[in-house]
A and B are shown apart, each in its own frame.
Chain A
């Protein structure tokens, strides 16, 4: 018999609670081997997770054979052991220690009121530490996982301790908070303590294990589908030009949620392997036919958490005003809290509060819609059935129509929520005035197909559950899971997917690895170029990278290096600054250059070059004498590359965040220093960044210095004060022309001032889509008349981790700067005429 008295196995032989036949053990075990293979083939999540999954599956085998009483303690110990495995021993000890204090506070033999006050005080202390207001002796790395384990579960746990009389053992407490595989996932479903505890072997063991495998397989499928949308279909608002683009944007943006549903399926599936017959976390949320239905289907654990902790208590407090009033007010209260708790969650994971007003607007709109829907349901009732409903095409058509409408409404609302700004979102809708093509039908047709297929009546939920309990095996699900796993593993093998053609092979190849999408890479690059590190939504995978970034990590934008000076350039370095950073000393001279002191006039007999560029040239992330500019200058003076000069000077005009058009102004400043050469250091995305800056200049109505650029703006029909996204969309087709103007002007002005213009291409440490622009940029530089020093192979053969400052900061580190300096010196040794007009020293 199973835990609830139902018959399992063949239906004839009663079996002890939690037991499983040898055959069942083998069948589940073999499926888990397939799951492991699928996880490996598709590189699902992190290496740590895959290791943990292998341990969890091996642990399952041991666990399934243990006496029932030992299984929960075994799960608790294994969960606890997973923490040092992922975070390292020292971090794990700190995390476990903090957790023990929090759990201990819940169990103190004092009044509930005092325990609540103590927990709030401990929470406040941790908030102060997470905000870096107070020092902490532990590593920053533990915060996201500590937050994930305790930020919501502690609330549920304490609530259940107060109201549920069932005794709580240490195994319950440890298993609930350390819960495998939480150590790998900062974003974790809010598992209800009471449900978790009650669900332990509440059903037939084999059925529970099988459901776990089914859900893990489904989770992998969600994650692979997510990758398809993430890598291949997501667009930025500025790329949305046509109605077809707009629909693609809306659908792809919403579909990124597959990552959350995929992860939650993995997590809860894994818990099933340890006997926890938990409810589903998502229920076919694309098929919601009303707003209340959507709220009930998407992230069900969250809905249940809010319902239990906030909604029901609020209704009971307010019911004296009438049931409907209480329901309306409590629903609105839940949505306000959902908004605030999302920010609270963001705080624990990222260390900053997420309080954007369009966030509030999103939750308000959704809350109001759910309230209206609830009132309609109270008045008219909701369609429910105890048995198999008769198929009525009219009913199906009505359901499809409602579901289709809700799907698109949610897509639009979701796009609003996840947009970086309201301006971005509003600007995107001008795409409706773009060219209409048959492609516009693609996503509406696909969505309709999915909804029609999903809406064809199957069985009625209540009936199904009763019926299924009496079925010995869930053969249909088991076969579906096996087929899914075999199919996924099959197509993941190169000979199989290559057989289907190069395009298909390319797509499958991309799905087989976890990496940042084109857009996230661009965002990271943007962070690299501009010091912008804003990733303020869970819809971008980049937030995970930034969740590992220490809160006190200094970035170029916030280092206090720059000051606002207005005009087209907007910023420059603060003169005479000395700052100690974790990367070494950063100091500027009286001219606001990150360099040693130089007179404005070139010394008699000296060779002088100026170097223009952004943060990498300035040397963000290395000490004063470690920039590649400083290293080259030092080497020139130690071993002069050419004859005829008493000394060599290279003046560093690098300014973080400077884009190519801004370099026109930097050049004018630099030419006052009488250089014989102008070294313009270009990096990836010269065109895109030029467009972005010109769009910013338009939006901010900055005075554009170059007449050719002014006339280009007129031609593009962009006007001062225009929305930046809209301006960017109009200027993008003219990206190369903008760059040509900038490059020609730099060459022309340099030559006029008697300086040789040299273009140095410095790649990023990370390979990425920025490389797409490089060939055209190189041609543009050559056509403009620069001497070319191409460093595109400078980082080749080196692991990115040895070159960059950190996972979230792609600036080259000391080693990176040394490589750059060595390659420039090697190229100049081989061809000194690139820089010097005088004979080489032999």
Chain B
């Protein structure tokens, strides 16, 4: 799976799970997810579980933070380091 596919899939998950009914065009690669209040602790964990299940990767607790998960770009970048996307 390419990085682009992963980006789309993650975006679809976020839109469906946390932003139903919202315009997908509003969610850009740089939209702040944690600092913007879209991902709270529970939502962040749900996202992490989604990534772990779908990409067969595992996260460490210390990786679950704004530095790694605040934007789609960052999420994909972290995923890439774990899966060699």
Interface residues in chain A, defined as those with a beta carbon under 8 Å from any beta carbon in chain B: 159, 162-164, 194-195, 198, 279, 292, 296, 307-308, 311-313, 315-316, 319, 323, 327, 374, 377-378, 381-382, 384-387, 461-463, 465-466
Contacts and interface: CB of A to CB of B under 8 A. Distances in A.
Given A323-B49, A386-B26, A462 B42 contact: no
A276 to B, nearest CB: 15
Contacts of B43: 382
A283 to B, nearest CB: 9
B20 to A, nearest CB: 7
A588 B23 CA distance: 84
Contacts of A292: 40, 42
Most chain B CB atoms below 10 A, which of A313, A315, A463 = A315
Which 3 pairs of residues, A with B, have the shortest CB-CB distance? A462-B36, A386-B26, A163-B62
A384 B37 contact: yes
Interface residues of B, number: 30
A327 B42 contact: yes
Nearest to A296: B40
Contacts of B32: 462, 465-466
A686 B64 CA distance: 61
B10 interface: no
Contact of A381 (B17, B37, B45): B17
A324 B35 CA distance: 24
A319 B64 CA distance: 14
Contacts of B54: none
Most chain A CB atoms below 10 A, which of B38, B45, B49, B67 = B45
Contacts of A466: 31-32, 36
A311 B36 contact: no
A466 B27 CA distance: 11
A377 B43 CA distance: 9
Given A386-B26, A386-B27, A466-B31, 5 more contacts: A194-B65, A195-B66, A384-B18, A384-B38, A466-B32
A381 to B, nearest CB: 7
A714 to B, nearest CB: 59
Interface string B15-35: 001111011001100011101
A312 B61 CA distance: 5
B45 A159 contact: no
A327 B67 contact: no
B60 A316 contact: yes
A315 B61 contact: yes
Contacts of B66: 195
Given A313-B61, A323-B46, A386 B19 contact: yes
Nearest to A462: B36
A382 B46 CA distance: 13
B32 to A, nearest CB: 6
Contacts of B38: 384, 386, 462
Contact of B19 (A307, A374, A384): A384
A386 B43 CA distance: 15
21 contacts: A194-B67, A292-B42, A296-B40, A308-B62, A312-B61, A312-B64, A316-B61, A323-B46, A323-B49, A327-B45, A381-B18, A382-B40, A382-B43, A384-B19, A386-B23, A387-B23, A387-B26, A461-B36, A462-B32, A462-B33, A462-B36
B45 A315 contact: yes
B62 A374 contact: no
A395 to B, nearest CB: 13
A374 B36 contact: no
Contacts of A313: 61
B62 A159 contact: yes
A327 B41 CA distance: 10
A411 B27 CA distance: 38
Given A194-B65, A381-B17, A465-B32, A374 B22 contact: no
A195 B65 CA distance: 10
Contacts of A465: 32, 35-36
A137 B32 CA distance: 51
A460 to B, nearest CB: 9
Most chain B CB atoms below 10 A, which of A198, A461, A462, A466 = A462
B38 to A, nearest CB: 5
A306 to B, nearest CB: 10
Given A316-B60, A386-B22, A462-B38, A308 B17 contact: no
A285 to B, nearest CB: 15
A319 B61 CA distance: 11
B2 to A, nearest CB: 25
Contacts of A163: 60, 62
A195 B67 CA distance: 9
Contacts of A311: 41
Contacts of B41: 307, 311-312
Most chain A CB atoms below 10 A, which of B18, B22, B59 = B22
A385 B22 contact: yes
Contacts of A378: 42, 46
Nearest to B40: A296
B79 to A, nearest CB: 17
A378 B47 CA distance: 12
Nearest to B64: A312
Most chain B CB atoms below 10 A, which of A198, A316, A463 = A316
A197 to B, nearest CB: 11
Contacts of A327: 42, 45
A198 B32 CA distance: 16
Nearest to A192: B65
Contacts of B42: 292, 327, 374, 377-378
Interface in B51-71: 59-62, 64-67
A41 B41 CA distance: 42
A292 B20 CA distance: 21
Most chain B CB atoms below 10 A, which of A194, A313, A386 = A386
Contacts of A462: 31-33, 36-38
A308 B34 CA distance: 14
B15 to A, nearest CB: 9
A307 B26 CA distance: 29
Contacts of B22: 384-387
Contacts of B31: 386, 462, 466
Nearest to A195: B66
Contacts of A387: 22-23, 26
Nearest to B32: A465
A316 to B, nearest CB: 5
A284 to B, nearest CB: 12
A161 to B, nearest CB: 11
Contacts of A382: 18, 40, 43
A419 B62 CA distance: 38
A385 B42 CA distance: 17
A378 B35 CA distance: 20
Contacts of B46: 323, 378
A387 to B, nearest CB: 5
Contacts of B67: 194, 198
B35 A319 contact: no
